[in-house]
Structure 1
Amino acid sequence: MDATILSFLLLDGLQNGVIYGLLALSLVLVFAVTRVILVPIGELLMFAPLSLVWLLEGKLPGTLWLALALGGAWALMARGRGVLLPLAGGVGLFLLFLLAKGVPPLAYLAAVLLVVYLGVATYRVFFQPMRGATVLSLLIMAVGLHVAYQGLGLVFFGPEQFRPAPLLAGEVVVGLSWQGVLVLLFAALSLMVLYLFFRFSLFGKALLAAAENRLGARLLGIHPEEAGMVAFGIASLLAAFSGLLLAPLINAAYFMGFMLGLKGFVAAILGGLASYPVAFLGALLVGFFESFTSFYASAYKEALVFLLLVPALFYQSLRARAVEE
């Protein structure tokens, strides 16, 4: 291996690792607040660029009707003034999509808001009614939603792969495009914003309180259900932006989100589904490990990446046993 190949592998690992890191942060946040392992986060990530492609071609994507259907169910389940949020959001989303057909700036905005609305509606319709369920029951629901959303993705967009045009064309250096630079800058900006949000904002501190002690947060006037909606909203927002920035580099298809989400899950497990910094560092480890194994053993790179789960789970098992003793 010479210096050129090494630089390619390092850049590729860094670029993939920061995306896995954002997904890992989303998974840790959602799990901490709601005890839900958000398995369909990969589908939410892919829905953004696929919906964008449809809008740029002047067509309304099927994901819009899915979001509106879930919004309608959310409105039926809500009471009092709670009905206004899903109804107003659904109407505004529909009007935005009508205006965004063939208009790139509005199309990007519509794709992001669609995924955020869909993520929050998913929590409100499927997970909030199960707030007293076990983690296993929530996981079964999450896996079912992953299967359903992936199947609907095939129905909505077909089996083809699509590559949206990059926001910035050209290369900075060999092996790193301007689009890749955007991915890195977005990851850095996201980390800074999340730190400031949780460190200084009242909503961020309330979210951390709900994640730390749900009963104590409720006694202090913090509603865990609303915290869950905020957590799903933040996770969906990160997934939407990640998908829009990553799709011009790797293509977008209905089936591609699951592997991305699964590697983000590996990183989250490395952080014990509890530590945000360790989860992000674990994601960088996954990205670099995947990059180098694809060079030395490309046929086994997926299996080797998931092999990282074994020592992580073994460590968590020993740690849990030590706490019990």
Structure 2
Amino acid sequence: MDFDIALFLIQDGLISGAIYALVGVALVLIFTLTRVIAVFLGEFVAYGALTFIALQADQTPQVIWLTLLSGVVAGAIGCYRRRNHLGRATALRLILVYFAYPALLALCTFWLAPLPLPLAVDICLTFLIVVPLTSYLYTIVFQPVANSSVLVLLIISMGVHMALLGLGLVFFGADGLRAPPLAVGAASLGSLRISAQQTTILGVALLVMFLLRMFFGKTFRGTALRATAVNRLGAQLVGIPPALAGQMAFILAGFIGALCGILIGPITTIYYDTGFTIALKGFVAAVIGALASFPVTALAAVGVGILESFASFTASQYKEVITFGLIVPALLLRSLLTAEEDHDQ
């Protein structure tokens, strides 16, 4: 391996690491606020990519039916939970969020999808279709069991993953698809050739990380979410509803997942189950970050991407074993640190 090949592998690893970093941060976000290990997050990566590809091909994404049905079910559940104190304002909000929005979105999708729309419109429509699914999913599945143990939540999360995986096969089929590039062109930096698509991925990933840092550090809602992550009971006592924190966590994670799908669609063939592998590698980074630290998770994800790139070149048949094997020393180190902390106490 010469220096030029090493540079190329590092470049490829940085691109993959940027995606893993976004997914890992989304996993940490959900876990710190809801204690849910979001095994299903990879499905939203695949849903985002395949919905965007369908819209780019002037086809109606069939996942809109899931969004419509989920909204109706979530709205019915919300009305039932508030049946004893369902005021006019609350009823209007439930109707708008869970019934009117999915119905209007479905009509707009059926009307706009067959038309040759600009790239920005397809991206926005993808977010409008996929991201609300996470909110409806939280209302239907996780909010009723919010106080359950982490193990119970993990089992439920696995069930949601299997359900979404099967629905993905129904909606998108078994064939792999690839999106047209978001940006065209390339530039040379010495022996490296950097495409506009790669620059877009890195730029968007850095922008999202910066915006998340500003949101959690500078805004009232972000501070409220941080308080919920540190002490759920204390946050509830000062008027921060855990359900609202869970909704926001799922919505932010769903947005990040769909964004990752849109970003990787032009550089790799996407299948209905592609997102699961991406989510697992993001989970490896999240475990290295102890499912608590956003900066450590992001840096670990970049390391995972670079390691995977070099493993693909030197031992391609073992690259997944090497990548996922990182979780073993991370867990051992976490176990030793926890034991030492308990001993000090």
- Normalising by the smaller structure, the TM-score range is over 0.9
Equivalent of residue 218 in structure 2, options 177, 197, 200: 200
Give the AA of the match of 2:280.
L
**Residue equivalent to 2:31:** 31
Shift of 1:242: 1.1
The reply to whether residue 131 of structure 1 matches residue 143 of structure 2 is no
Aligned twin of 1:83: 94
List aligned pairs for 1:268-287, cutoff 5 A.
268-287=286-305
Distance across 2 between alignment mates of 1:144 and 1:58: 32
Q: Is the 8 A contact 1:30 1:36 kept in 2?
A: yes
The residue type equivalent to 1:289 in the other structure is: L
User: Residue 172 of structure 1 aligns to a residue in which SS?
Assistant: strand
- Report if aligned partners of 2:30, 2:38 keep a CA contact under 8 Å in 1: yes
Deviation at 1:56, TM superposition (A): 3.0
Separation in structure 1 between the aligned mates of residue 339 and residue 99 of structure 2, nearest angstrom: 48
Could you say what the CA RMSD is over the residues aligned between the two structures, in angstroms? 1.3
Aligned to 1:98: 110
Whole-Å separation in 2 of the counterparts to 1:125 and 1:172: 48
Distance (Å, rounded) in 2 between the aligned partners of 1:211 and 1:299: 40
Normalised TM-score (structure 2): 0.91
Shift of 1:175: 4.3
Q: Which moved more, 1:293-302 or 1:60-69?
A: 60-69
Report how far residue 320 of structure 1 moved: 2.0
| Structure 1: gaps of 5 or more residues | none
Query: In the TM superposition, what are the counterparts of 1:1-325 in structure 2 within 5 Å?
Result: 1-79=1-79, 80=86, 81=90, 82-84=93-95, 85-101=97-113, 102=115, 103-104=117-118, 105-173=120-188, 174-325=192-343
Partner Cα distance (2:193, 2:177) in 1: 21
**2:256, 2:17 → 1: CA distance?**
14
Q: CA–CA distance in 2 between the matches of 1:90 and 1:62?
A: 14
Indicate the residue corresponding to 2:82 in structure 1: none
Which structure 2 segments of 5+ residues have no match? 80-85
Q: Which moved more, 1:173-182 or 1:62-71?
A: 173-182
User: 2:179–2:266: 8 Å Cα contact kept in structure 1?
Assistant: yes
Conservation of the 8 A alpha-carbon contact between 2:56 and 2:179: no
Indicate conservation of the 8 Å contact 2:48/2:126, yes or no: yes
- 1:80-138 superposed Cα distances (whole Å, 9 cap, x missing partner): 32523222331232133134313243222111122210111111111111111110111
Q: In structure 2, how many angstroms separate the alpha carbons of the residues matched to 1:196 and 1:175?
A: 33
Q: Distance in 2 between matches of 1:121 and 1:60?
A: 21
Displacement, 1:294?
0.7
Q: Which amino acid aligns with 1:86?
A: Y
Counterpart of 1:273 in 2: which secondary structure? coil
CA distance in 2, matches of 1:49, 1:115: 10
Greater displacement, 2-11 / 282-291: 2-11
What amino acid does structure 2 have at the position aligned with 1:63?
V
Instruction: Work out the CA distance in 1 between the residues paired with 2:201 and 2:100.
Output: 32
Q: How big is the shift at 1:207?
A: 0.5
Question: How far apart, CA to CA, are the structure 1 residues paired with 2:269 and 2:196?
Answer: 16
Any idea what the Cα deviations from partners look like across 1:33-72, whole Å, max 9, x if unmatched?
0000111111101101211222233332221111111111
Structure 1 residue ranges (4+ consecutive) displaced by more than 6 angstroms after TM superposition? none
TM-score, scaled relative to structure 1: 0.97
Per mean C-alpha deviation after superposition, the further-off stretch among 185-194 and 81-90 is 81-90
Q: How many equivalent residue pairs?
A: 325
- Secondary structure at the residue paired with 1:111? helix
